[in-house]
Amino acid sequence: MGQTEKQFNGFLRVVIRDLKEAIAETDPEKKAKLEALLNDLQTTLED
C-alpha cells in the first residue's frame, strides 16, 4: 500500500527539519551539499 500525499509531505517535513539541524552542525565542505538537498526537498513539498 502506498503513501498518501499528506503522509509523504509529513515525511518530507521531518527530513527537512533534520537537514536544517545537520546544516547547523556540519563543516563548510558538506554544508553546500546539504543545503542543495534541502532546497530540492522544500521545492518538492511546495509543488
- pTM of the entire predicted model: 0.76
33/6 Cα distance (integer angstroms):
27
* Predicted local distance difference test score (pLDDT) of residue 3: 83
**Cell numbers for 30:** 558538506
| Cβ(6)–Cβ(39) below 8 Å | no
What angle is formed at CA 14 by the lines to CA 11 and CA 20, rounded to 5 degrees? Answer: 140
Give residue-wise pLDDT tens across range 5-16.
Answer: 899 999 999 999
* Predicted local distance difference test score (pLDDT) of residue 28: 83
**Cell numbers for 20:** 536544517
- pLDDT class of 1 with cuts at 50, 70, 90: low
- pLDDT class of 30 with cuts at 50, 70, 90: confident
Per-residue pLDDT for 2 more than 90?
no
